[in-house]
Amino acid sequence: MNTPTHLVLIPTYNTGSARLLATVREALAQWPDVWVVVDGSTDGSEAGVVALAQAEARLRVLSQPRNGGKGAAVLAGAEAALAAGFTHALVMDADGQHPADRITDFMKASQAEPAALVLGRPVFGPEAPLVRLKGRKLSVGLVHFETGGEGIDDPLFGFRVYPLVATVGVLRRTRYARRYDFDPEVAVRLFWAGTPMRNLAASCRYLSRAEGGVSHFHYLRDNVRMVALHTRLILELLLGRWVTVRRVRRRQGAV
């Protein structure tokens, strides 16, 4: 099922060399085309992956001159992938949370329905922080309001296969969705654009620091960013986007 239309895209920022290299090796064991977007890292963690790329012809490393956030890194990688002839990208985090052993299943789902956004529905282990789980419930409720119902099972889980033309299109039409707000905003805007949503279960690990886990989530800053995100989306919805949502829902009901 490996095809030249789909690749794995891994944005990374100061992930740590051992953790990043492990994630890339896990992805390569499942899929031949893997691209890493180094988002202005300052810890030198990309050195091992750059060296690995000398031996792995289909591993490519792209470097951003400064840190622009996950959404900016994904957009840069998506534009480069389109230019290289790819049509879809499975985006996974570099920190080891996402399950590389599910890459092939997600790619198969995307190949069966190329127009769809294939979203991961996270299955958490007992180590998952309770505050994160409760916060997700609020995010899910807000996104269901913004999209007029169910369809996006988890707006925060970033293990997804994106149709590149549609994704680049919605990202170019907004100056937001570049940092922690990327995952929920791009999903909502793709829904608004009429992209079908397909959800598949996938495990989610929270690694301890001893295991190489790293998080750049800033509790105050990023929660403020999320409040601003949903305020913007709800205002846009109330100011006329609800017509689009009704049209998309009606079309989905006819399928």
| pLDDT tens, position by position, 78-116 | 999 999 999 999 999 999 899 999 999 999 999 999 999
Span 118-128, mean pLDDT? 87
Residue 1 scores a pLDDT above 60: no
Span 228-255, mean pLDDT? 91
All structural domains of the chain, each given as residue ranges with its CATH number in brackets, are 6-254 (3.90.550.10)
State the pLDDT at residue 126: 78
- The per-residue pLDDT for range 52-75, each reduced to its tens digit, is 999 999 999 999 999 999 999 999
CA distance 90 to 35: 10
Kindly indicate the confidence band of residue 252, based on its pLDDT and cuts at 50, 70 and 90. Answer: confident
State the pLDDT at residue 185: 96
Say if residue 183 is exposed, middle or buried (CB neighbours under 10 Å; 0-12, 13-18, 19+): buried
State the pTM of this model.
0.91
φ/ψ of residue 10, rounded to 5: -120, 100
Span 132-147, mean pLDDT? 88
Kindly indicate the confidence band of residue 234, based on its pLDDT and cuts at 50, 70 and 90. Answer: very high
